[in-house]
Amino acid sequence: MSVVPQAVPTTKRTGRTKFSLKNILLLITVALVVLFSLAPALWQLLTSFKVNEDIAAVPTVYFPTRFTFNHYIELFTRRPFWRYIFNSALVSIISTAVSLAIGAPAAYALARLRPWGGQVILAAVLIVTLFPGILLFLGLLEIIQALRLGNNYLALIIPYTAINLPLTILVLRSFFQQLPKDLEDSARVDGYNTFQLLWQIVLPMTLPALVTTGILTFIFAWNEFIFALTFMTREELKTIPVAAAQLGGASVYEIPYGPIAAATVVGTVPLVLLVLFFQRRIVQGLTAGAVKG
């Protein structure tokens, strides 16, 4: 008995071709978006290693063939750039730590303890979060002058903490609300008070959220320019954004593109390393609570 061969359906093969084409288009789109986003950073990085002739060349030299480290050497020899890095790090770390130290208990109180007038407090925090920080500039300037905090690290630490605190409270409150209450009830049965419950149980469970929120506040404090420019006028107290913006050339008419690009790279590298180091925690913090199982 002969067996009649059946035609092989082509639907699966066609489907695979379409699916592969979608993957290719998606990959190309992602690559173009990444290239578009990283192009300014790549341009600054290449400019920081170009010789002056290539920087001023016409037509523009996009990918140099001659590299130099003179811009970085000039950056640290002509200006106390290590001091600027220290100032930025000190102000950013302290303001971030204070924001988390105050914001975590406040967020837990709004999420679990439900104080009297909690909804009003939450609405006020939300309004302050939406309020542009630059509009607080004149009021902060008057306060800084009245308290004689000019050219003092507190002149930056206090405003940065106040601006970042509402965002810290809102983000951490949402994470605290997602924690199971049964665990907290069991801890209270075991004799834990509110502070012990927060410090020993709740905060370790929300470590990714703390890291994510802390990095957001740190980046804001590190990159802030207006307050640092106004409240810090002494050379040894300037931060990296202010110092990079005030770099001068050998004459009034010269713009030192090379040292400015080098200063931009030096100011960006710590943030990149910070994000890469805490990358896993950041992803956990951003995706926590997205899927309930």
pLDDT score, position 220: 92
Which of the residue ranges 22-26, 253-257, 259-263 would you say has the lowest mean pLDDT? 253-257
This prediction's pTM = 0.82
Asked whether residue 139 is assigned to any structural domain, the reply reads yes
pLDDT, position 9: 52
Together in a domain, 127 and 265: yes
Indicate whether 242 and 180 sit together in one domain.
yes
Q: Residue 292 falls within a domain, yes or no?
A: no
pLDDT digits over 96-147, tens only?
999 999 999 999 888 888 778 778 888 888 888 887 778 888 888 898 889 8
CA distances from residue 167 to 40, 64, 100, 204, 273 in whole angstroms, order as listed: 28, 43, 10, 20, 23
The 8-class DSSP code of residue 67 comes to B
* Nearest one of 35, 31, 13 to 23, comparing CA atoms: 31
Four-CA torsion 250, 251, 254, 257, nearest 10 degrees: 30
CB count within 10 Å of CB 215 equals: 19
- Does the pLDDT at position 30 exceed 90? yes
Q: What is the pLDDT of residue 138?
A: 85
In this structure, are 49 and 125 located in the same domain? no
Q: How many domains does the chain have?
A: 2
> Would 7 be classed as within a structural domain?
no
CATH of the domain at 102: 1.10.3720.10
Q: Say if residues 96 and 218 touch (Cβ distance below 8 Å).
A: yes
Is the per-residue pLDDT at 172 higher than 70? yes
Q: Average pLDDT of 216-234?
A: 92
Residues 128 and 245 placed together within one structural domain of the fold: yes
Residue 49's domain comprises: 12-55
Residue 183 inside a domain? The answer is yes
Same domain, 30 and 107: no
CB contact at 8 A, 223 and 185: no
Is residue 96 a contact partner of residue 221, using CB atoms and an 8 Å limit? yes
**Stretch 275-289: mean pLDDT, rounded?**
71
